[in-house]
């Protein structure tokens, strides 16, 4: 299972994206099982997802993510998967650092650090993995980093919505990049998302417009007809996401916003 910040992290610069901005914030979501296929062995799932973003386009973005989920199979014991990541995306999307720590039932399963740099966005990037010292991997020329991709989609929303196809590197699968096919709907006016109007936690969002967004991640190699995973959400004009759906194929989780704090803005001019 891939780390899904997507987007979040999500959740997250090309010249066309400079008009879009993401405010520093900390958001907490309650997770529950939304759907499980008939052939799935999963009976229920629940957990929490915490997401924090600080910084700006001029100083770089730091994104912290933690997702702790209990999976209860139809047979057998409950499994708790606790995934934590910290990512820094430098100004201009030229420098990328990613640290992943994951535990299963309290026992460490993965501790990985990734570093990628490139001379320009249109140039190939070179990266290293702490798990493979002395080896390097290549990020395709023009690949978008998470925040760069998020801002691109927000700019597409500001332009009226549409479809975007981008190569994305987010560190969720070591040195692997993905083809992200995204659909951004037309802007919803303030107060149009009934779910958030009824949620007091989302009060600071009521004066903002939002866009419905769906992002599907495909492998670069081959001609897969179905994505490896898919995320959908409503993205507000300040970069806060609500109504999360994390779809892993055999099952899907939904995320409900339960806490939101806007943090101090960047000191950049």
In this structure, is residue 36 part of a structural domain?
yes
Q: Whole-model pTM?
A: 0.90
In this structure, is residue 28 part of a structural domain?
yes
Strand partners, 187: none
Q: How confident is the model at residue 237 (pLDDT cuts 50, 70, 90)?
A: very high
Among the listed residues 181, 10, 1, the one whose alpha carbon sits nearest the alpha carbon of residue 87: 10
Domain count, the chain: 1
Q: Are 253 and 31 in contact (CB under 8 A)?
A: yes
In this structure, is residue 268 part of a structural domain?
no
Give per-residue pLDDT as tens, 145-196: 999 999 999 999 999 999 999 999 999 999 999 999 999 999 999 999 999 9
In this structure, is residue 241 part of a structural domain?
yes
Give per-residue pLDDT as tens, 199-231: 999 999 999 999 999 999 999 987 888 999 999
What does the alpha-carbon distance between residue 5 and residue 83 come to, in Å, rounded to a whole number?
Answer: 11
What is each CA distance from 15 to 18, 57, 121, 167, in whole angstroms?
Answer: 6, 12, 11, 17
Q: Are 161 and 195 in contact (CB under 8 A)?
A: no
In this structure, is residue 252 part of a structural domain?
yes
What does the alpha-carbon distance between residue 62 and residue 82 come to, in Å, rounded to a whole number?
Answer: 20
In this structure, is residue 258 part of a structural domain?
yes
pLDDT of residue 265: 83
pLDDT at 16 over 90: no
In this structure, is residue 190 part of a structural domain?
yes
What does the alpha-carbon distance between residue 10 and residue 266 come to, in Å, rounded to a whole number?
Answer: 20
DSSP of 57-113: TTTEEEEEEEEEEEEEESSS--EEEEEEEEEEE-GGG-EEEEEEEEEETTEEEEEEE
pLDDT of residue 269: 64
Q: Are 128 and 138 in contact (CB under 8 A)?
A: no
Among the listed residues 223, 137, 115, 227, the one whose alpha carbon sits nearest the alpha carbon of residue 182: 227
Residue range of the domain that includes 171: 15-262
In this structure, is residue 148 part of a structural domain?
yes
Q: Are 179 and 219 in contact (CB under 8 A)?
A: yes
């Amino acid at each position: 299972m891939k780390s899904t910040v997507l987007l979040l992290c999500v959740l997250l610069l090309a010249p066309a994206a400079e008009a879009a901005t993401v405010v520093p914030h900390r958001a907490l979501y309650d997770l529950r099982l939304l759907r499980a296929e008939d052939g799935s062995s999963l009976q229920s799932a629940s957990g929490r997802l915490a997401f924090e973003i600080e910084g700006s386009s001029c100083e770089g973005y730091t994104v912290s993510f933690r997702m702790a989920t209990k999976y209860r199979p139809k047979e057998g014991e409950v499994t708790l998967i606790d995934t934590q990541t910290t990512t820094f995306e430098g100004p201009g999307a030229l420098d990328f650092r990613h640290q992943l720590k994951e535990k299963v039932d309290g026992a460490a399963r993965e501790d990985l650090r990734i570093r990628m740099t490139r001379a320009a966005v249109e140039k190939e990037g070179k990266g290293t993995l702490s798990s493979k010292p002395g080896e390097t991997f290549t990020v395709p020329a023009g690949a978008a980093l998470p925040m760069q991709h998020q801002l691109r989609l927000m700019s597409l929303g500001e332009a009226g919505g549409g479809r975007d196809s981008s190569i994305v590197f987010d560190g969720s699968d070591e040195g692997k990049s993905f083809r992200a096919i995204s659909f951004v709907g037309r802007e919803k006016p303030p107060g149009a998302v009934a779910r958030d109007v009824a949620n007091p936690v989302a009060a600071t969002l009521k004066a903002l417009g939002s866009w419905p967004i769906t992002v599907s991640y495909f492998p670069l190699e081959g001609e897969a007809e179905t994505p490896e995973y898919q995320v959908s959400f409503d993205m507000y004009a300040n970069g806060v996401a609500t109504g999360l759906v994390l779809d892993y194929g055999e099952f899907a989780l939904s995320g409900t916003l339960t806490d939101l704090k806007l943090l101090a803005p960047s000191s950049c001019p």
